Amino acid sequence: LAAAGWHMGPAASWLPPVRALFAPGLDGRGDPGHVALTFDDGPDPV
């Protein structure tokens, strides 16, 4: 039974309340005072 719980724990992280409670870093919510920037240098030349 413990092994089943061990495997179900990470799988339950797709549930928003579980993810927000146990893994807020994976929830996609950042500090409201910050902006996330990304850089895309375009397609890779062949």
Tell me, what's the pLDDT at 14? 84
Could you say which DSSP state residue 2 is in?
A: H
3-state SS track over 1-46: CHHHHHHHHHHHHHCHHHHHHHCHHHCCCCCCCCCCCCCCCCCCCC
Largest CA distance in the chain: 52
Helices vs strands, H then E, count in the chain: 2, 0
Tell me, what's the pLDDT at 46? 75
Tell me, what's the pLDDT at 4? 86
Residues 37, 41, 45, CA angle at the centre, nearest 5°? 160
- Tens-digit pLDDT profile for residues 1-46: 888 888 887 888 888 888 888 888 777 777 888 888 888 888 888 7
